[in-house]
Amino acid sequence: MEHAVRTEDGIRLWAAKTGDGEPVVFCHGGPGLWDMMADVAADLSAAATVCRWDQRGCGRSERRGPYSVETTVADLDAVRAHFGWDRVALLGHSWGAQLALRYTLAHPDRVTKLVYVSGTGIDDDSTWHADYERNLRNALESRLMRWESLAAKDRTAEEDREYCVLQWSADFAGRERALEHAEAMADPWFGVNFECNAALNRERWPDLRGQCEGLKVPTLIVDGTADIRPRSAVDSLERALPVVSRVQLPAGHLPWVEDPAGFHAAVSGFLTKAGADSA
């Protein structure tokens, strides 16, 4: 069932709710993208009430700012409040993992569990981003020249889609199906909000280590071992969290696509166990 959620400043956010059980709110990647985890929601909806939503300015939500981490955290709280939930579990992917972590640190009393999928940790980007850029170019292989030519020009809407599909193809460990998986990510295509992406990526994050060390919310970190973003970037987050487990799967940046059984076992098992432990 689809819902229109209103933020504090009146912006309309798209949200959808499925399933039955304890609530789990998904936070999609980007910034500037939209929810692409319908398959994950369907897989988990037998055991949980799953809420997906498109962040401010993205996908099916109203395309209007302002854009900031603080505002996006407030929007996530508006989604929670819209459904009348006092406490929710959060599942965040990539940038959404960072968002879910920031929300949990701001509102630990409103979060039952945190599933942190393919995030980039709490160290400064300078510790891992150069390796990511090199890995990205290596993974693009024969598609590198076309991707670079698109990156360097003013693109049409069709070229934006091609550019993103090429870049996303690097996020899969299995090279033979990488383009197929990336095309699936772009269907349906809502158009990337590059203004939102730039604004959120410009923000300098505070040192979160001390806050993480005091966080008592049970957390599961899920990694794909072949993610082109170095997984060592997440090590400091794992060390800082006092109630944490970590599962590494033979996959790239979207582990539920390349190892659906392993992802389901890890996430559904954690949500069920953590729910019992934190009740």
The pLDDT score that the predictor gives to residue 265 is 96
Question: pLDDT-based confidence at 18, cuts 50/70/90?
Answer: very high
Residue with more model confidence, 272 or 102: 102
Question: pLDDT-based confidence at 76, cuts 50/70/90?
Answer: very high
- For the cut 50, the answer to whether the pLDDT of residue 47 exceeds it is yes
How much of the chain, in percent, has pLDDT values that exceed 90?
95
How much of the chain, in percent, has pLDDT values that exceed 70?
98
Average pLDDT, the chain: 96
- For the cut 80, the answer to whether the pLDDT of residue 238 exceeds it is yes
List C-alpha distances in Å: 13 to 5, 35, 76, 77: 5, 12, 10, 12
CATH topology of domain 2-127+193-278: Rossmann fold (3.40.50)
The pLDDT score that the predictor gives to residue 278 is 44
The pLDDT score that the predictor gives to residue 142 is 95
- 73 vs 100: CA distance, rounded Å: 8
Q: Where are the domains of the chain?
A: 2-127+193-278, 129-185
User: What is the per-residue pLDDT across 172-187, written as a single tens digit (0 to 9) for each?
Assistant: 999 999 999 999 999 9
Spatial contact of 170 and 228, defined as CB atoms under 8 Å apart? yes
Residue 42 C-beta-side C-alpha neighbours within 13 Å: 6
- For the cut 90, the answer to whether the pLDDT of residue 274 exceeds it is no
User: How much is the average pLDDT of 118-131?
Assistant: 95
Question: pLDDT-based confidence at 276, cuts 50/70/90?
Answer: very low
Token duo for residue 228? 């082109």
The pLDDT score that the predictor gives to residue 272 is 87
- 184 vs 275: CA distance, rounded Å: 32
The pLDDT score that the predictor gives to residue 237 is 97
- For the cut 70, the answer to whether the pLDDT of residue 277 exceeds it is no
Which residues fall within 8 angstroms of residue 95, CB to CB, at 6 or more apart? 28, 29, 30, 31, 200
pTM of the model: 0.96
First to last CA, the chain: 27
User: How much is the average pLDDT of 83-91?
Assistant: 98
Question: pLDDT-based confidence at 216, cuts 50/70/90?
Answer: very high
